[in-house]
């Protein structure tokens, strides 16, 4: 599976996105045209679980703080009160997945920010480019 996080393409991944060495997002496609399946865990700055998405549906949503909008080709998770985007996923032609925008805490309590120009967490940054994952997980800020 090809996944674009910000401006960087991760080709031939297994659909798991590891952030700081720990799996935090899992992507599934039954067919290249969708539907897009997402498993995702959301933490706060001290590593406490605040929300959890399984098979593209909210299973934990502390105090109803998150709003999920989804379709066969899009998954958008926002903070209900502020409207701030937590994670925005798009399924493109050919089964490619793009994450152009997002901002959430890692399990280690570090803020990961994704924009069309770069992704960043702590001192790690991902700029425009391409990596062949050779069937393994995408490693962000490992």
Q: Is 132 contained in some domain?
A: no
- For residue range 56-89, what is the model confidence (pLDDT) as tens digits? 999 999 999 999 999 999 999 999 999 999 999 9
110 belongs to a structural domain: yes
Q: Is residue 114 part of a domain?
A: yes
pTM for the full predicted model: 0.93
Task: For residues 14-37, give the mean pLDDT.
Answer: 93
Query: Residue 8 falls within a domain, yes or no?
Result: yes
Domain assignment present for residue 121? The answer is: yes
pLDDT band at 34 (very low <50, low <70, confident <90, very high): confident
CB 89 within 8 A of CB 97: yes
Whether 136 is covered by a domain: the verdict is no
Give residue 67's pLDDT. Answer: 97
Domain that holds residue 77: 3-125
34: in domain = yes
Nearest to 91 by CA among 65, 112, 64, 72: 72
**What is the domain count for the chain?**
1
Give the model's confidence band at 30: pLDDT under 50 very low, under 70 low, under 90 confident, else very high. Answer: confident
DSSP string for 72-118: SSEEEEEETTT--EEEEEEE-GGG-EEEEEEEEE-TTSPEEEE-SS-
Does the pLDDT value for residue 142 go beyond 80? Answer: no
């Amino acid at each position: 599976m090809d996944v674009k996080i910000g401006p960087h393409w991760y080709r031939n991944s297994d659909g798991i996105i590891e952030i700081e060495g720990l799996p935090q997002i899992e992507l599934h496609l039954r067919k290249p045209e969708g539907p897009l399946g997402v498993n995702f865990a959301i933490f706060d700055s001290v590593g406490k679980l605040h929300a959890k998405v399984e098979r593209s549906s909210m299973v934990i949503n502390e105090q109803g703080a998150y709003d999920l909008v989804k379709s066969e080709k899009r998954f958008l998770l926002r903070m209900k009160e502020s409207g701030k985007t937590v994670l925005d996923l798009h399924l493109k032609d050919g089964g490619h997945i793009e994450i152009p925008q997002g901002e959430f805490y890692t399990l280690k309590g570090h803020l990961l920010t994704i924009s069309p120009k770069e992704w960043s967490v702590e001192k790690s940054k991902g700029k425009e480019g391409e990596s062949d994952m050779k069937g393994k997980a995408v490693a962000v800020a490992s």
